Structure 1
Amino acid sequence: MSSPIRFGIWALVHGSRAALQDPDEPFDASWARNRALVLEAERLGYDSVLVAQHTMNPYDENLDELEAWTASAALAALTQRIEIIAAIKPYLYHPVVLAKMAQQIEHISGGRFALNLVNAWNRPELERAGIGFAEHDARYEYGREWITVVDALLRGERTHFHGRHFHVDDYVLRPADPFRARPSVYVGGESEPARALVADHGDVWFINGQPLDDVAALIADVAARPRPAGAPPLRFGLSAFVIAAETDEAAQQHLEHLFALAAKDAPQREKQKANIDPKAVMFHTYARTPRVGSNGGTAAGLVGSYDTVARRIAGFHRAGVELFMLQFQPFEASMRLFAEEVLPRAKALVERDTREADEAREKPEQAIIG
């Protein structure tokens, strides 16, 4: 049986996702905007919000940047239904401190919290703070120890851990989670260490936007890997920038408009490139397909008429994607349009796929009985 389909949005922690100099979406990464955005997303029926973590704006250090964990705690108190996913870079928080924060937000939200483990790619955030920016695989080794400690503490276990980076003696957090075993853990990254990490510790693998065949191959690889005893099957999420309009032609025109606007950000993008870890796989992936938007953006191909975008979403769902974490520009207006026009179409297609799959499974059984 396929997983239910879910839709989420990226919080605008550093403003616009496709182009910073858009007259239809002036730069705004404020708490006020993000609060209103998430509350409206919940009213519109979106299932999740992802709050990315940066201490400084990755495009331009002089631009505003929303803080992820304090914002997530506030959103937990303000919302009723939507899942709140806060990204975390392990070098910024000791695992004991972060586990306590995560458990508190889990309580505030009533069991709707998740953390998204990412192992950092933006050098200045760590180097200028004096933390240091380790080599790619070393960051994943650190992240593996970090999530091992966090996982145990979130489960309410009395934790003893002695590794290369952390030494935790007889530590237990109270109150424990009254809603489930622990908050959900999303893991990002597509390198080999990232894939191994999500198979061992993740609940959901968060994949950057890219074409369907590439996503299907990634899912097949990680889904085939062994999981810890008793762990449920791994689920999959996809980041994508959506441009949906009445016709394919209108959507393509808007894409070209955003490409032209994004070209104005060339100076900021060049600075960003200089700060990127060259071993970060997602940036090599981006280079294969022209795109706008972050984390793969329009490379996933969700550009077209309402029916076109819905069909492509259904195709990704058939490949195993459960959660679509979406970006738009202009964000609020496009988010509303997607909820009105595309979301019901996509859900109808997924429901049809589910019925057909159920019928196909029943037919052999009926033949045997007959």
Structure 2
Amino acid sequence: MSYEGPRFGIWALVSGATGSLFHPDDPPDATWERNRRLVLEAEALGYDSTLVAQHLFHVRDERLDQLETWTACAGLAAITSRIEIIAAIKPYLFHPVVLAKMATQIEEISQGRFAINLVNAWYKPEFERAGIPFTDHDDRYAYGREWIDIVRPLMEGRKVNTKGQHFEVSDYQLHPTGRYRPRPLIYAGGESSQARDLAAGVADTWFINGQPPEDVAALIADISRRPRVDAPLRFGLAAFVIARRTDEEAQDELQRAFELAEQDRPYRRQSLDNTDNKAVMFKTFARMPHVGTNGGTAAGLVGSYERVAERIRRFHSLGIDLFMLQFQPFEAEMRRFAHEVMPRVRERSAAA
């Protein structure tokens, strides 16, 4: 019987930590060497995917290192053999023709395991200080739609001729393409109405920020009503996991995580002060105390091994296919999840 249960991925440590910068057992380390070891171990442990987020410098503390996304993904593509590699992309940072060529090359290196995650920028300084216009939220989504409408056919090997508001491309075609599958997959994030329209129109999978099942169900119902011509949209969920032998142990660790997070408060404030105030995800986060990025523990993957497994099964029943996970300390908790929670989920899914 083939396995049709949920898939699991990890966030690459592009900023060195997904939780507190002050965890004594998980100091921020965004080096290539750490990320290389991390993704290779994740692959060996049975994780299905890794997401490499994109920032040009550290959004909480600019003195800290920040891993570059696309060069790192090319390196990961060359040294892994099974795990999916998803590179986040902010359209204003790359011309669509250049990005499409980079994507098809990494798809070739990985032998058909590469994907892009289309995201709208929210951190203003990395654009403004470089002299790149940081336009209004809705204008950025209009730009992103024109941008992906060039990238997608190029990744499919089609010839592109187009003249729009932002780009004019004449007789452009890329080789090689399609050697392993029709094109790299497209993920999309964001929860505004414009983001949902974009995901429904062009993405293969929509990433949802960590939040309770009832909120996730409402989001899936809303986007499923929007116009779409491709195969049904799939769904991913971001979550920060704290799994222990008992619920009490997990809650104690969650409380410790909140206490550590207090030390990060000035750094989070600096980041929020430079955030687009129209970014819907930050309004969502403000409603739900949490640890981690992109909703983190608000998804509720906190508790005993069986409770976390059951919560995952509930999300999966709502339509979540891929769980993109964060931990702290990352490597140790990634192993714990692989050894204690993944088997519980997969055994039940296979039996069902």
Q: TM-score, normalised by structure 1?
A: 0.93
Query: Could you tell me whether the CA contact under 8 Å between 1:7 and 1:46 is conserved in 2?
Result: yes
SS of the residue 1:220 aligns to: helix
Query: Could you tell me whether the CA contact under 8 Å between 2:4 and 2:349 is conserved in 1?
Result: no
Tell me how far apart the structure 1 counterparts of residues 282 and 350 of structure 2 sit (CA, whole Å).
35
Q: Is the counterpart of residue 224 in structure 1 residue 225 in structure 2? A: yes
- Counterpart of 1:244 in structure 2 is 243
- Counterpart of 1:312 in structure 2 is 311
Tell me how far apart the structure 2 counterparts of residues 348 and 211 of structure 1 sit (CA, whole Å).
24
- Counterpart of 2:59 in structure 1 is 58
- Counterpart of 2:302 in structure 1 is 303
Tell me how far apart the structure 2 counterparts of residues 114 and 176 of structure 1 sit (CA, whole Å).
14
Query: Could you tell me whether the CA contact under 8 Å between 1:3 and 1:322 is conserved in 2?
Result: no
- Counterpart of 2:128 in structure 1 is 127
Tell me how far apart the structure 2 counterparts of residues 241 and 76 of structure 1 sit (CA, whole Å).
25
- Counterpart of 1:340 in structure 2 is 339
Query: Could you tell me whether the CA contact under 8 Å between 2:5 and 2:346 is conserved in 1?
Result: no
Query: Could you tell me whether the CA contact under 8 Å between 1:106 and 1:113 is conserved in 2?
Result: yes
- Counterpart of 2:175 in structure 1 is 174
- Counterpart of 1:189 in structure 2 is 190
Query: Could you tell me whether the CA contact under 8 Å between 1:13 and 1:67 is conserved in 2?
Result: yes
- Counterpart of 1:29 in structure 2 is 30
Tell me how far apart the structure 2 counterparts of residues 4 and 253 of structure 1 sit (CA, whole Å).
30
Tell me how far apart the structure 1 counterparts of residues 333 and 310 of structure 2 sit (CA, whole Å).
18
- Pairs within 5 Å for 1:68-217: 68-217=69-218
Query: Could you tell me whether the CA contact under 8 Å between 2:4 and 2:350 is conserved in 1?
Result: no
Q: 1:204-227 CA distances to partner (integer Å, 9 max, x unpaired)?
A: 000000000000111111123231
Q: 1:156-200 CA distances to partner (integer Å, 9 max, x unpaired)?
A: 001011110111111000112211111000000000000000111
Tell me how far apart the structure 2 counterparts of residues 45 and 280 of structure 1 sit (CA, whole Å).
34
Query: Could you tell me whether the CA contact under 8 Å between 2:237 and 2:324 is conserved in 1?
Result: yes
Tell me how far apart the structure 1 counterparts of residues 311 and 177 of structure 2 sit (CA, whole Å).
41
Q: Which runs of 5+ in 2 are unaligned?
A: none
Tell me how far apart the structure 2 counterparts of residues 42 and 26 of structure 1 sit (CA, whole Å).
23
- Counterpart of 1:11 in structure 2 is 12
Q: CA deviation at 1:132?
A: 1.4
- Counterpart of 2:278 in structure 1 is 279
User: Could you tell me which amino acid in structure 2 is paired with residue 270 of structure 1?
Assistant: R
Q: CA deviation at 1:3?
A: 5.4
Tell me how far apart the structure 1 counterparts of residues 110 and 259 of structure 2 sit (CA, whole Å).
41
User: Could you tell me which amino acid in structure 2 is paired with residue 294 of structure 1?
Assistant: T
Relative to structure 2, which stretch is displaced further, 214-223 or 81-90?
214-223
Q: Which runs of 5+ in 1 are unaligned?
A: 356-370
Tell me how far apart the structure 1 counterparts of residues 17 and 75 of structure 2 sit (CA, whole Å).
22
Tell me how far apart the structure 1 counterparts of residues 162 and 129 of structure 2 sit (CA, whole Å).
30
CA RMSD of aligned residues (A): 1.2
Larger radius of gyration: 1
Tell me how far apart the structure 2 counterparts of residues 150 and 214 of structure 1 sit (CA, whole Å).
32
Tell me how far apart the structure 1 counterparts of residues 92 and 99 of structure 2 sit (CA, whole Å).
11
Percent identity of paired positions between Structure 1 and Structure 2: 63
Tell me how far apart the structure 1 counterparts of residues 170 and 292 of structure 2 sit (CA, whole Å).
44
Q: 1:341-369 CA distances to partner (integer Å, 9 max, x unpaired)?
A: 000111123334xx3xxxxxxxxxxxxxx
Number of residue equivalences: 351
